[in-house]
Amino acid sequence: MNKQLDVRKMLSLKRPDRFLDYAAPWVPKSPEELVEFMRNNPPEIIAGVYAISSLDQKAFEKAAEKTIGLETFKSLAELVWRLMSGEGFTDESWAELFKGLAVYGVVDAWFRWTGLVENKLRWRYLDAKPAELDPRHVLKWAGKALNGV
């Protein structure tokens, strides 16, 4: 049975970890699982999970140092920042990204991202060039990761 995410409650928390059970079973829940996950998955999936996972930024950095490299991770993180904020997109092109995707999942992922940023679990790498990935794929995987698909 699908639990419905109470966004207001989630955003009011200092750390949204207790809502990690809303994530798919394949989403890493510990720093150790994150290392293995980053070793075995493509960048689009890593970026999607970064957008919704309640593991903190340092855990992602440490896992990246052991697997894909810190610079690669910084470029993924900067892409997610720009994508989730709509930065660099016209309103029309940003809206176009969401068409054809499971709206509930993507909107949930966006709210989750907002909560992580507000709780200072995500910060930017302004010196990093954003990864050149298909934003639609990153959003799709963020939605899948959050909604248990």
Residue 42 belongs to some domain of the structure: yes
How many angstroms separate the CA atoms of 101 and 28, rounded?
23
Residue 1 belongs to some domain of the structure: no
**Which tens digits make up the pLDDT trace of 18-77?**
444 568 889 999 999 999 999 999 999 999 999 999 899 999 999 999 999 999 999 999
Residue 130 belongs to some domain of the structure: yes
Range of the domain at 140: 7-146
**Could you tell me the end-to-end alpha-carbon distance of the chain, in angstroms, rounded to an integer?**
12
**Which tens digits make up the pLDDT trace of 127-144?**
999 999 999 999 999 989
Residue 54 belongs to some domain of the structure: yes
Residue 23 belongs to some domain of the structure: yes
Q: How many domains does the chain have?
A: 1
